[in-house]
Amino acid sequence: EVQLVESGGGLVQPGGSLKLSCAASGFTFSGSAMHWVRQASGKGLEWIGRIRSRVNGYATAYAATVTGRFTISRDDSKNTAYLQMNSLKTEDTAVYYCRRGVSGSDWGQGTLVTVSA
Amino acid sequence: DIQMTQSPSSLSASVGDRVTITCRASQSISNYLNWYQQKPGKAPNLLISPPSNLQSGVPSRFNGSGSGTDFTLTISDLQPEDFATYYCQQSYTTPDTFGQGTKLEIK
């Protein structure tokens, strides 16, 4: 059974940093691209970025709204993807999901990030 | 970026009804269109992946069609568990983008 479990969310002040983790199991993590998607309360889904697999050079891509502030990485030995978020803004407040692949049949349960003073 | 426009943004229907949700891309995405269902407090659930493939376990009353820029999700014989929010997503190019969602409510 595929499982994706996000962790690391919480309350952070504007300008602060937070690092989310996405622990994966039940599939060949090293061969999968991993994506991050967020959803503000009562709003729609926003793709944040992705990291490809080793054979694809661990290539990353980001949404314009987070470029330069967020960084996606992965540790294939730990079957874990990460989202490092710096210079956080109040508008970054959302539930953050990790997702396997571009046609996402597998999502985590989400972790809430609240950016507030 | 490719813009995805869904309509309507909300929809009221009754159990047993047939409803259609449309999704339009700002440029051709071939058939790289996914449909998701999301219920409150839950992650999105993939219903249909390209090219209009129904995911395992998804009832056959869900049907996706279209190509190019215009797509539809049709739900026949609505059941109580179908009342949720639906999103389209293009997976043709990065960044993958979502429609704004269609909230399907009980009339």
Each residue of A82-99: pLDDT tens digit? Answer: 999 999 999 999 999 999
Q: What pLDDT score does B51 carry?
A: 84
* Minimal CA separation from A47 to chain B, in Å: 7
CB A35 within 8 A of CB A26: no
Residue B16 and residue B77: Cα distance in Å, rounded?
4
User: What percentage of chain A has pLDDT greater than the value 90?
Assistant: 96
* Minimal CA separation from B75 to chain A, in Å: 20
Length of chain A equals 117
Residue B21 and residue A95: Cα distance in Å, rounded?
25
DSSP result, chain B: ---EEEE-SEEEE-TT--EEEEEEESS--TT-EEEEEE-TTS--EEEEETTTEEPTT--TTEEEEEETTEEEEEE-S--GGG-SEEEEEE-SSSSPEE---EEEEE-
Helix/strand/coil for A26: coil
Q: Which residues of chain A make contact with B89, given a CB cutoff of 8 A?
A: 45, 104
- Cβ A47–B100 below 8 Å, yes or no? no
Using pLDDT thresholds of 50, 70 and 90, give the confidence band for residue A104.
Answer: confident
pLDDT tops 80 at residue B54: yes
B51: left (phi over 0), alpha (psi -120 to 50) or beta: beta
